[in-house]
Amino acid sequence: MPAANRINPFNLDTIRQYDHCSDAYYITDESKHTESLFCDFEIGSKKERYFFSKNAPITSNWMELFGYGENEWYDTADKNNLMIVLRDCLYLISDEKDPDSIKKGSYLGKYHKDSFNKYADECLRTLNKIVKCAPALGFLYPLYFEVIKLLADYLDGKINSKEATKALFDPLISFLCINTATIEYYGRIRAYVQDVFVLPFEKGIQLSPDKIAEHYKNYCELYHNNGMFKQDIYTNSTSERFPNAGIIEDAPDDPGWESYLEERRAYDSDGIEIRTLNQFAHIGIAQLIRDGRSIRKCKLCGKYFKVRYSSSQEYCTRIYKDSKFACNEYVSRRSAKDRFFEHPIHAEYNKAYNRLYARIRRGKVPKDTPLTAQLKALHDEYYERYEHTHQKDREAVWKEYIEKNKELLA
Per-residue pLDDT of the chain (410 residues; tens, 9 = 90+): 444 578 999 999 999 999 999 999 988 887 888 999 999 999 988 899 999 999 998 888 888 888 888 765 554 444 456 666 776 776 666 666 666 666 666 667 777 888 888 888 988 988 898 888 889 889 889 988 998 999 899 889 999 888 988 888 888 877 777 777 777 777 778 888 888 888 888 777 777 777 777 777 666 666 554 444 433 332 232 223 223 333 333 323 333 444 444 545 554 555 788 887 877 787 888 788 877 888 998 988 888 998 887 788 888 888 888 778 888 888 877 655 555 556 788 788 888 888 888 888 888 888 888 888 888 888 888 888 888 888 888 888 888 988 888 888 87
Final residue in a domain of this structure, among 251, 286, 308:
308
pTM for the complete prediction? 0.68
Same domain, residue pair 143 and 254: yes
55: left (phi over 0), alpha (psi -120 to 50) or beta: left
Task: Tell whether 388 is covered by a domain.
Answer: yes
Same domain, residue pair 139 and 227: yes
- Contact (CB, 8 A) for 257 and 211: no
The pLDDT value given to residue 73:
55
Buried/exposed code over 57-75 (b: 16+ C-beta within 10 A; e: otherwise)? ebbbbbbbbbbbbeeeebe
Which residue, 150, 139, 129, is CA-closest to 179? 139
Same domain, residue pair 244 and 363: no
β-pairing, 24-29 with 293-297? unpaired
Task: Tell whether 270 is covered by a domain.
Answer: yes
Task: Tell whether 278 is covered by a domain.
Answer: yes
Same domain, residue pair 218 and 355: no
The pLDDT value given to residue 28:
85
Task: Tell whether 326 is covered by a domain.
Answer: no
By residue range, what is the domain housing residue 226?
12-308
Same domain, residue pair 82 and 164: yes
Task: Tell whether 328 is covered by a domain.
Answer: no
Final residue in a domain of this structure, among 291, 308, 325:
308
Q: How many domains does the chain have?
A: 2
Same domain, residue pair 277 and 386: no
The pLDDT value given to residue 20:
93
* pLDDT tens, position by position, 350-408: 888 888 888 888 888 888 888 888 888 888 888 888 888 888 888 888 889 888 888 88
Task: Tell whether 250 is covered by a domain.
Answer: yes
Task: Tell whether 285 is covered by a domain.
Answer: yes
Task: Tell whether 316 is covered by a domain.
Answer: no
Same domain, residue pair 248 and 393: no
